[in-house]
Amino acid sequence: MAAAVDGGAPDLAGLLERIAADVAPLIGSGTPAEYIPALAEVDPRHFGMAVADLDGNVHGVGDWRVPFSAQSITKVFALALALAEGGDSLWRRVGREPSGNPFNSLVQLEHENGIPRNPFINAGALVVTDRLQTLTGDASSELLEFLRAESGNPDVSFDAEVAASEHEHGDRNAALAHFMASYGNIDNPVPALLDHYFWQCSIAMSCADLARAGLFLARHGLRADGSRLLTRSEAKQVNAVMLTCGTYDAAGEFAYRVGLPGKSGVGGGIVAVVPGRCALAVWSPGLDSRGNSVAGVAALDRFTTLTGLSVF
């Protein structure tokens, strides 16, 4: 059924409807992120999925146009901007290996001298945001403008309620930032860094927005306007880190089931990339024990199974 992605809207629409029907029994399973009160209140019965082709055409099913908190999905875009602005010197400050620990863990930092394992655990994302802040002077606004441009939606914005909720319950992230600062791996004042990080995580986007925004990775580094954000090699690197580290400490299971580079967020969203073909986004707020959307992972699993599209 690979032709459904490149062929017409009717085939793709039918494919998405079938996937939604297949995963319907799982919608509402799992638990929304309870440690962020603004997210804990979201109805877990939401489900949306969108696929964007290389020309930016998007098709979806369910709640695919409903904005939700992107959370850690934004780490992919922050990483891309930091690499585009500052080159691969970033990799001296953050690794590229799976952590094997929860996304907010402090455990490895002391053993590894304040260098986070990868850019998608919270410690690594804080380093990336710190680098982007140094490069741009306004990391969160730079990221927001990029997401508006790539999604084609000028209404993409921060969610002040979510940002405030993150601030109020951000002690673990503050501890991570201060700990890395003690090793000289944070350049900006920790309070300012946390502000930008919490605003970044609060950005609200729909599946349609995220699928379009992720297309630069499917286009091997080319933005929506045809300009080059990343070299082909850099785009490959970002996709590779997404595959090995993008779904917290369940990346092996995600690669096994889905077979695509992907990045999840505790808002229940996941963005995934088929290099050279399309980008996808799915949203369902019920999370498994590792912080990934139960119905979302299942939907992406069905997509790659039905289409035969994966990186393997």
Per-residue pLDDT of the chain (312 residues; tens, 9 = 90+): 344 454 444 588 999 999 999 999 999 999 998 888 889 989 999 999 999 999 999 999 999 999 999 999 999 999 999 999 999 999 999 999 987 666 556 778 888 899 999 999 999 999 999 999 999 999 999 999 999 999 999 999 999 999 999 999 889 999 999 999 999 999 999 999 999 999 999 999 999 999 999 999 999 999 999 999 999 999 999 999 999 999 988 999 999 999 999 999 999 999 999 999 999 999 999 999 999 999 999 999 999 999 999 999
Q: Which of 230, 272, 233 is nearest to 254 (CA)?
A: 272
Question: How confident is the model at residue 102, as a pLDDT?
Answer: 61
- Which amino acid is present at 273? V
Q: Which residues contact 166 (CB under 8 A, 6 or more apart)?
A: 36, 173, 198, 201, 202
Both tokens assigned to 102: 């929860």
C-beta separation of 12 from 49 below 8 A: no
Domain ranges of the chain: 3-307
Question: How confident is the model at residue 3, as a pLDDT?
Answer: 40
Which of the following is catalytic: 99, 140, 151, 197? 197
Question: How confident is the model at residue 101, as a pLDDT?
Answer: 65
Question: How confident is the model at residue 38, as a pLDDT?
Answer: 87
Both tokens assigned to 141: 């606004």
Question: DSSP secondary-structure letter at 97?
Answer: S
Q: Which residues contact 33 (CB under 8 A, 6 or more apart)?
A: 39, 40, 71, 266, 267, 285, 287, 291
Q: Which of 53, 45, 52, 1 is nearest to 23 (CA)?
A: 45
Which of the following is catalytic: 94, 99, 140, 248? 248
Q: Which pTM was predicted? A: 0.94
Give ∠ CA 236-196-263 in degrees, rounded to 5. Answer: 30
Which of the following is catalytic: 69, 72, 99, 206? 72
Please tell me the distance from the alpha carbon of residue 49 to that of residue 59, in angstroms, as a whole number.
8
Please tell me the distance from the alpha carbon of residue 38 to that of residue 196, in angstroms, as a whole number.
18
Q: Which residues of the chain form beta strands (DSSP E)?
A: 48-53, 58-62, 68-69, 204-205, 262-264, 269-274, 278-283
Question: Is 236 in the active site?
Answer: no
- Which listed CATH number (2.30.40.10, 3.40.710.10, 3.20.20.70, 3.90.700.10) goes with 3-307? 3.40.710.10
Crossing angle for the helix pair 74-86 and 122-136, nearest 10 degrees?
A: 40
Question: Is 197 in the active site?
Answer: yes
Question: Is 75 in the active site?
Answer: yes
Handedness of CA 266, 163, 64, 73 (dihedral sign): negative
Question: How confident is the model at residue 54, as a pLDDT?
Answer: 97
Question: Is 248 in the active site?
Answer: yes
Which of the following is catalytic: 5, 58, 266, 294? 266
Question: Is 266 in the active site?
Answer: yes
Question: How confident is the model at residue 34, as a pLDDT?
Answer: 86
Please tell me the distance from the alpha carbon of residue 189 to that of residue 19, in angstroms, as a whole number.
46
Q: What percentage of the chain's residues is helix, strand, coil (to nearest 5)?
A: 50, 10, 35
Which of the following is catalytic: 58, 61, 75, 238? 75
Q: How far is CA 131 from CA 127, 156, 203, in A?
A: 6, 23, 19
Q: How far is CA 138 from CA 44, 49, 78, 183, 223, in A?
A: 34, 31, 12, 24, 21
Question: How confident is the model at residue 100, as a pLDDT?
Answer: 66
